[in-house]
Each structure stands twice: as C-alpha cells, then as structure tokens.
Chain A
C-alpha cells in the first residue's frame, strides 16, 4: 500500500533538493520526495491513497533529541511542576510562576485538586522567583497532606510534617550540624540523599516509574520527536532500566525510536577493567529491538555538573574562586577513551567547562596520534563553555558537538552576575562558530534539565535570549536553517542514525514532524510557539491533540 502525503511545503533537509510538495511512502519507507506529477512511475498499476490531511501544513524531517535521560525523566514526570520558566507538557502547559504569592496559590490549587491523603510532590521551586521556602509556608497550604517541594536544581527539597512522618523521618533524631534544617523542613546536599533514600518507596515505586515512562513517551511525542538518544543507559541500574524501557518504549503505540548509549563507567563498575568494556558493550546489541537499539556508542564523563557550577574552568575561573570538579581522574578518563577508541567505538563525552573540554581535546589528540581514525563521531556533549581557539581543534580532530543550548536561556544572566562574568557567560554554547567551522553540530535538552521541545531549543539557538530578555552573544546566533539542521540531520548523525532518518529523501524511514507554520520563514521569535499537529513515525500518523 502506497500513501502520497501532500503538504503546503516539505522541508527536506536534503541540500540537493531543499523543498518539495509531497512525500510518497510505502511500508514505512520513503519512495520519493518531490512533486506528485513526477511520482507517476511508482503509482502505475498500484493501489495508493492520497493523504491530504497535511495539505496546508509544513512537513519537516522528524525531530531528534540526541541527548536526554528517560530514566531520570520517569522519576520527575509524575510530580507536579511549578516553575519560573514555561514548560509545555502534554497534559497542559505549565505557565510561568514568577512570584511567591503565585507559587502559594498554585500549591493551594494543586492541594485542592488531589484526593485527600495522596502525597503531593512539587518540582520547580527556585528562591530567585518564589521567595524563601520553609515548612511553615507549606503548612499554610496543608498540615495534613504530605507535601514535598523540590528545588529546580534537584539539589535540595523541603517537606512538611506529614511528609516527614510518611517518610519515617523523626525530627528528634536529626542533630545540628547536618545538611538538614529540620525546623525549616529543608534537606540539601547529603541531607537530600538522606531524604531521597526515605522517599524512594514513593518516587521509585514500580508503578510510579512505569507511569513516569508513559508520561515521558507523551512528552517525547508532543515535542515532535521521532528519534531520541538515551545518553546514559544504566545510570541507575542497567538491567532494571532495560526491562522498563522495553515495556514502555517498545511496541506499535510508541511513535519514536531510541538510541541507547550505555554509561561507560557504570558498565565496568564492580571490578571489571575498562579494557573489558568494549566487549561488554557490544554484547548489549543482542538485546536490540525495533525501536530500542544500542550501537557501537559509549558515554563517558569529564567535568562536573553545569547547573551546580562544577564545570572545570580555565583561567580566570569562577568569580568567587571556587573550582569545578572532575567526575573521573584525567588518567582514568583517558584509559576508558583509549579502550573504546581502539575498539572503533563512537565516544560521547560529557564536557561542561572549557577546561573539561581542553582535557578531552588533549586526550582525543593523543588517540589520533596513536591510531588515526576518520568519521569516528567523537562527540562533545553539553558543551557549556569553550574558547574560540578550541573550535578549530574540534574541527581538526574530526569531532562533533551536541550542545545544551538552553543553558544560555536559563543560566546566562545569573552566571554573568555570580559565576564567571558577562563575557564568558554570554558566550556559552558557542555554536555559531561551530557551524562556521563546518563541525557537525546539534542541540539537545538533556531532559529534564531543559524542556524536551526541539522548537524551543531552536528558538534559543536562533535568538540567544536570556530569561531576562537580553540577547547574549549575538555573534553566535544560528540561522533558522542551521538550527533546523541541528534538530534533524545533524542530530541523526550524532546518534548514528543519519542513514535512516534526519532528512527526507528516497530510502529513509518516513519520519515527519508536521507543523502549522514554516520554521525557516517565520518570525524567529515565534519559533517556539509553532503548533505541532502530528508526527509520522515510519509511515504511521500519530496526531497531537
């Protein structure tokens, strides 16, 4: 059975034929992209349908987020969001809540909407907008229902008395000097670990986790994705995650495929040598199914978390003089990279600061000296801070960039004031330079670090507007064309799927994202508000209500 999809315009991301008006599909694959009158040879003597439901829409290649974390998202998504930034979620837009009174009102509304006794988990609190939080403030909402308020950064939380008794936390047992302020119901740093260990029965309960993954599936669909990368499979527990992912993200009702990239150091944890890793990782390929597949990819880590200001920075470092952290000793990172480099893997390294990037570039240089490789796909993931001099090095070594461009929107103002100063803060995600240098460059959400909305990432990359409405690093803006490449063909390249998806041409899977407006010609500020009416995954239409 053949289907001819007609559109107002088809954006192909095939540079040899950027635009068309129709796509002809058979058994989930594209037969031809172009004009319907030229497709007659395919149609002669065949049964076919002409599908006009997208006749006034724009068909793009299916969007791809090459770096997010389904397992982490599954933990967060069952919670209620009250956030200072907007989040478009399938079950409703989360409108920005930017002052303390509105935060309290929203807590009240959620409280009244829930059955009594059900614990209320809230995520997204930030003192910058929502004022100081404490137990008494939560008690004004309810001193009966367990309520847990989680900070936007995930690094601290507040609980009321019923929540503490639910979790079995006896305030009398908590002594001073700990990272717990029991009178305020405040748990932070290691105190947070203490709280999480006791909340786990509610957070990680199998039915909650499954519900979280079902919600993730909706989020991914509503963002317009048809492929994603799980960029640290096994971050909690490889077997448990693989089982849950198979149950929830495989099957005919799942409108996207997932590239599973295993967490390298977790894989060999427990006494295995890094040199055993490549064989162990290759063994995972036998678990591959239609939508879930490992490849010869591995994820490794250089420096600390961007949100916690633990990125390793070159001089002059942080304003307050603190240092970032290494997630592994440089020698250990090099040993892991060497093992996978020589085994022919595509290596993805988490780098956040310009010193973390410098170290990883130095190691990559050594690898190229030891065993030169072309098209190795070595990818710098996150790419928070960089220097202009590092851009040509990335190019010369044949590496690519996958940037969390959303950092720029949410964090550049505060990092300019209380991090590293305006110059470097405004130049985070230096991706205009990457495009200019001809480096394959994509953008990602690291969901739940940023909304899993490729159009939102595109909006940030094109406008570089901070949450205080300042243009940050205007010279690094992407064009709309570049930004759309970033979330389609370049992303496909990064997760090793450019042979099957990422653009529309004969022979690829019929993966589309169908838009109400043209993302290449619209007002750049309107990008993130373009309506997504459906996705098509391997020829099957999944409408977005």
Chain B
C-alpha cells in the first residue's frame, strides 16, 4: 500500500499544543469564530470549560453534551482524555479536518503517534509559546524539559504575548509566527508537515499549500556561496531563516523575507545547538494550483541544498 493511498482517504489532524497558559484556548476561540473556517472542520478540546462558543453559532448539542454542532458546518467536541473513542465517534460524521487541542502537559510527538489511527493521519503539530515567560519556564525544575520538548517537536511555532516581550524569538529553525499575524488561522489550517525523508519525493496528491525544507549544516561554507544561494532562490520560497557557520565571516544569522535578505553576525557565548537553514515555501492562494501541479520550487531547492552541502 503506498503512502499516498493512506493519506488520500484519511482525515488529517492538526495538533495545537503548548504548555498551560500559552494561549491554546484563545487560539481555539479565535479559530471557532473565524469566518473562513471550512465546513467539516472538527475542533477537539479537552474540556469545554474555557471554550467560548458564541450562542448564536450553536446549532445542536449531543445528548451526552460532548459534541456541539455549529451553524458554519463545523463541530466542537470534548474528548475527556480518550482520543481513540473521540476519533471513532468522528468517523461517523462528515468531518474533513480535525483540530486537536492537546493537554498542556502533552508532548506533541506522543500525540502525533496517537493520530496514526485507522482512518486518520497527523498533518502538523502547532505549538504555542508564551513569549513573556518561556525563558523562565524552560528552566523550571518540573516542566523545563517538557516545555523544551514541546518546542523541539513543533512543526510550526506560534508566539503569544509578544507584546509583553517584544523582539522575543526562539533560536530554532522551525517556522515561527506571532499569534497576532493576520494570516495565523489560515496558515495553521493549511500547514502540513512532510516527513523529511519523503518531502522531496512526495506525490502530487500530497501537495501542500505550505512546505518547509530544512538544511542541516555539516561543514562550514563561504559567505559568498551562502549569499549566492540565497539570492538565486525560486520565487516560491517565501522565507528563509537560520544560523550558518561560515569560514570567512563567522556565525551568521539569516533572515530572508520575500526579496529582502538580512544577514548579520551572531555573537553569543554559547555555541548554538542547531546550524542550518529552513526554507519556507508558502504559495499564495492564487497561484497555489500552478505551483502544486508543476512542483515548482522543489527541484530548485533540492539543488540549492545540494550546493550548500557540497560547499560550492
């Protein structure tokens, strides 16, 4: 059985993770009231407790009170920590996409594995990070390793409370968005994580609206090569960021948004854990079809990554 057959008729699940207080509930509330929420979206939460559903949106409620039907064709379910039961119940409903709020103490990877459930497939793990106290919490005696694992296992990071800590950014290759980003909900609905081992060879039925490619740096390169690669990228590459070690200019912090390339020296006492670049291809919705059909960008990035690896 091929991989594409698995995904074509399996319902995708997007995980929303992050520690207690990181803003999961706020995000879910925003999502539920989002005008562009596609019909057939099911939102699974641990407990309705803090979820704030506009009364005018509620169309129906199940007898046991665990499923709420909304007038926009979506549903909201409470899972009471039995995911397999909730998924089996959703199997009977016209559901096209599931947004799953994980518990604040869950490691996304563990839940990700649980989303490999007959009839379902995990799509992306989105993790919220509280910008105002992440630095402190990641050192916490009890939850430090958990909070770090949540960030490490994310495919898309959403930073909350950035107003309390302007300029906060995680030193990671994982794409990061602010929860104030106007495209936040559309982005997370469409974000799809492709297993790195299969991303270049993915079949057409898997074409996502967003893709990320990661280059892990193994040896130093020259600044000239880096500049050349970054300025000759295909137009489908929306963003590039990362940290690269060069022979002639030391550690460089790279941030390329559209055509604007920002490259500056990175000075910190500690050697960063991750060196490399992440390429984010974010097709605008108008030429998404075109890009998806031709696979534009894929071969170009692959060849550029090969150049970086070869060092010439």
**Is A204 positioned at the interface, with any CB of B under 8 Å from its CB?**
no
Among B88, B116, B145, chain A packs the most CB atoms within 10 A around the CB of B116
Task: Point out the residues of chain B lying under 8 angstroms from A190, CB to CB.
Answer: 83-84, 113-117
Q: Which residue of B lies closest to A180 (CB)?
A: B118
Q: Find chain B residues with CB under 8 A from A359 CB.
A: 142
Q: Tell me the complex Cα distance, A328–B117, Å.
A: 24
In the assembled complex, B35 has its CB within 8 A of some CB on chain A: no
Q: Is the interface of A mostly helix, strand, loop or mixed?
A: loop
Interface string of B1-40 (1 = CB under 8 A from A): 1000110001000000001110000000000000000000
> What 0/1 readout, one digit per residue, does chain B (100-120) give for beta carbons within 8 Å of chain A?
000011010010011111110
CB neighbours of A197 from chain B (8 A):
84-85, 88
Chain B residues closer than 8 Å to A173, beta-carbon distance: 118-119
Instruction: Please indicate the chain B residues that have their CB under 8 angstroms from the CB of A330 in the complex.
Output: 142-143
> Do residues A193 and B83 form an inter-chain contact, with CB atoms below 8 A?
yes
B80 within 8 A of A: yes
Chain A proximity of B293: nearest CB distance (Å): 26
Chain B window 62-97, contacts with chain A (Cβ cutoff 8 Å), 1 for yes, 0 for no: 000100000000000010101111001000000000
For A321-363 the 0/1 string (1 means CB < 8 A from B) is 0010111111110000000000000000000000100110000
Interface size class of B (residues with CB under 8 A): 35 or more
Which of A271, A273, A329 is in CB contact (< 8 Å) with B104?
Answer: A329
* Residues B116 and A177 in contact, CB atoms below 8 Å apart: yes
Interface of B is mostly: loop
Chain A residues, CB < 8 A from B145? 323
The answer to whether A175 and B47 touch across the interface, beta carbons within 8 angstroms, is no
Q: How far is the CA of A252 from the CA of B114 in the complex (A)?
A: 46
Least Cβ distance of B48 to chain A in Å? 5
In the complex, B146 has a CB within 8 A of chain A: yes
Option from B10, B20, B88, B104 in Cβ contact (under 8 Å) with A194: B88
Interface membership of chain A positions 438-468, coded 1 if the CB is closer than 8 angstroms to chain B and 0 otherwise: 0000000000000000000000000000000
- Chain A residues positioned under 8 Å from B19 (CB to CB): 329
Q: Is B149 in contact with chain A by the CB < 8 A criterion?
A: yes
Cβ-closest chain B residue relative to A272: B49
Contacts of B113 in A (CB 8 A): 179, 189-190
Q: Which residues of B contact A269 (CB under 8 A)?
A: 47, 80
Tell yes or no: A176 within 8 A of B by CB. yes
Smallest Cβ-Cβ distance to A172: which chain B residue: B1
Q: CA–CA, A270 to B113, complex, Å?
A: 26
Residue in B80, B85, B116, B143 whose CB lies within 8 Å of A178: B116
Q: Are A175 and B1 in contact (CB under 8 A)?
A: yes
A330 to B141, CA, bound (A): 11
B105 touches A176 (CB 8 A): no
Indicate if the CB atoms of B1 and A271 lie closer than 8 Å. Answer: no
Q: List residues of chain B with CB within 8 A of the CB of A109.
A: none
**Which residues on A sit within 8 Å (CB–CB) of B49?**
270-273
Closest to B51 in A: A271
**A174 contacts B by Cβ under 8 Å:** yes
Interface centre among B48, B105, B114 (most CB of A within 10 A): B105
Q: Is the CB of A331 within 8 A of B20?
A: yes
A193 and B116 alpha carbons, distance in the complex (Å): 12
Known contacts being A176-B6, A193-B83, A329-B104, is A355 close to B142, with CB within 8 Å?
yes
Interface status of A544 (Cβ within 8 A of chain B): no
A312 to B85 Cα, complex, angstroms: 27
B149: nearest chain-A partner, CB-CB: A323
Q: Answer yes or no: A196 CB below 8 A from chain B CBs.
A: yes
Q: Are A270 and B84 in contact (CB under 8 A)?
A: no
A359 to B105, CA, bound (A): 15
Assembled-state Cα–Cα distance A196/B82 (Å): 12
B146 contacts A326, C-beta separation under 8 Å = yes
Contact B6 A175 (CB under 8 A): yes
Please, which residues of chain B bring their CB within 8 A of the CB of A178?
116-118
**Complex Cα–Cα for A190 and B115 (A):** 8
- Asked whether, in the complex, the Cβ of B20 is within 8 Å of the Cβ of A332, the reply is yes
Bound complex: CA A178 to CA B119 (Å): 10
**In residues 302-333 of chain A, which contact B (Cβ within 8 Å)?**
312, 323, 325-332
Complex Cα–Cα for A355 and B65 (A): 37
- Give the Cβ gap from A183 to chain B, nearest Cβ, in Å: 12
Nearest Cβ in chain A — how far from B182, in angstroms? 30
- Taking CB as reference atom, which chain A residue is nearest B115? A190
| CB atoms of B105 and A175 under 8 A apart | no
Bound together, the chains give a CA A544 to CA B108 distance in angstroms of 51
Chain B CB within 10 Å — which of A174, A270, A359 has the most?
A270
The residues of A that contact B1 with a CB separation of less than 8 Å are 175-176
On whether the beta carbons of B146 and A193 are closer than 8 Å, the reply is no
| Contact partner, B82, options A193, A270, A273, Cβ 8 Å | A193
From B20, B84, B114, B149, give the contact of A329 (CB < 8 A). Answer: B20
Complex CA distance for A196 and B117, rounded to whole angstroms: 13
- Given known A175-B1, A197-B88, A269-B47, contact A325–B105 (CB-CB < 8 A): yes
Per-residue contact bits, chain A 177-193, to B (CB 8 Å; 1 contact, 0 not): 11110000000011101
A327 CB → nearest B CB, Å: 7
- Do the beta carbons of B117 and A326 come within 8 Å of each other? no
In chain B, residues 141-174, which have Cβ atoms closer than 8 Å to a Cβ of chain A? 141-143, 145-146, 149
Q: Report A-chain residues with C-beta under 8 Å of the C-beta of B5.
A: 175
* Complex Cα–Cα for A325 and B49 (A): 23
A131 to chain B, nearest CB (A): 26
A179 touches B104 (CB 8 A): no
Interface residues of B (CB under 8 A from A): 1, 5-6, 10, 19-21, 47-49, 65, 78, 80, 82-85, 88, 104-105, 107, 110, 113-119, 141-143, 145-146, 149
* 13 more CB-based (< 8 A) A-B contacts, given A196-B84, A270-B48, A329-B143: A174-B118, A176-B6, A190-B116, A193-B117, A270-B49, A270-B78, A312-B142, A323-B145, A325-B105, A331-B21, A355-B142, A358-B142, A359-B142
- 4 cross-chain pairs, A with B, having the tightest CB-CB distances, nearest first: A193-B84, A190-B114, A329-B20, A326-B105
Which residues of A come within 8 Å of B, CB atoms?
A: 173-180, 189-191, 193-194, 196-197, 269-273, 312, 323, 325-332, 355, 358-359
Pull 20 A–B residue pairs with CB atoms less than 8 Å apart, ordered by A: A173-B118, A175-B6, A177-B6, A177-B116, A179-B113, A190-B84, A190-B115, A193-B84, A194-B84, A194-B88, A197-B85, A197-B88, A272-B49, A325-B107, A326-B142, A326-B146, A329-B143, A331-B20, A331-B21, A359-B142
